[in-house]
Chain A
Amino acid sequence: MTLSEIANGKVAPRTGIRLDNISKQYGSNIVIDDVSLHVEPGTVTALIGPSGAGKSTFLRCINLLERPDAGTIQVAGHTIEPGKVINAKDLAALRSTVGMVFQSFNLFPHMSALKNVSFPQQKVLGRSKSEADDRAMQLLERVGLKDKANQHPGRCSGGQQQRIAIARALALDPSIMLFDEPTSALDPEVGLEVLAVMRELADDGMTMIVVTHEMQFARDVSDTLVVMADCKIIEQGDPRAIMSDPQEARTRRFLRAVLER
């Protein structure tokens, strides 16, 4: 069975994302300025750009960790517009459909790896403990961490923690996965373990948006490369095309900086 089949029980319901004219500001500080992005079901979108470009904020708008000030979000059967009240139940449903993986893992330090993956299933999806534990065990095995099931995150390496975090998100049967620099806090070597899991997920046809500085991953795995700078999307398209022949000077400068490191 593939990773997303285990995650979903069956085959993932493939959904895409439509973001239209999204804007967001903190006080008078504009962070996202009228950005639109359409993501086809089952595709991988890599989001790159300099620090402070607004990538994280944009990603967090998709699962409504941030509410945009303007624009429309269509995701997982929900349409979100500014001012529209969304009740707690719908919000929980939306967020479990859209999995998110953070740069700093954010595992629950007081729970074992197994509990980290099992507990949200019980609370959000109402699964029984044994059902949730079984599913958690399957996923941990799949990300290569069966033997860490009873360890607390503090006892796991960064790469292991991040794979547990991915399992935790997958356990809620998401049809979309968001990754915010999942390997930036990891040693390059350890990052590879995590990238391998993500690659597998992509092969299974999971819809993914990945903020990353891993250019090789972006080139090999993503279907679309999106470049953000100064609160806007400045360029998007085929990853190889953009990397070999960027149209924007800003993109060129950024790529050179990343690749020359």
Chain B
Amino acid sequence: MSWLSEWAAYLPQLMSGLGVSLMIAGISIVAGYPLGLVLSVMVTAKNLAVRTLALAVVEVGRGAPALVILYLFYYGLPKFGIAFESITAACLALTWNSAAYSSEIMRAGLQSVARGQLEASNALGLSWRHTFFRVIMPQGMRSAIPGLMGVAIQMFQGTSLAYAIAVPELMKSAYNIGSQDFNYLQIFTLAGICYAAISMPATWITVYFERRLARQT
């Protein structure tokens, strides 16, 4: 009972943190997916320089831990005189992450579109743009949907790392509350519940889409 009343007292403070988390996640997704699409096309480019650049961006975004990218933006770049607010650094780092991960998923999605579709479009004399945007993309993106939703969940959870650069998101708010009266167990449990309350249903929806897609193909 006492836990519940304490939780009720903590909740407003925690909610503002959650708002920040959601905002960072939202920005990294909204900015990351279009970038991911561009990267997914770039990595298949004929031009070697373009392809290498895109590949490097993707490999670093996926291969380096999010925390490292976060630190690079927040602590590393200022040493060259390029300084960001902590929230901006978090958004930039997670955008890089989400662009890299989503590009891989979209590339796989686009590649899964049967070759015959491309051949049929060419045979019909469709322009490159029509072929890509009207034929290939709608089909490829459909199979990419569950994966992209997975990335979104990953990004939301990834915002918790912004704690490490003192962004006032959910985790940081929880830590602040906890360090006031040392009831870490309660406050981190509550924080965990907040994350789970969003991640778990989102996962279930993703699984639902995955199943539906698997049935249709």
The reply, when asked whether chain A contacts chain B directly with Cβ atoms under 8 A, is no
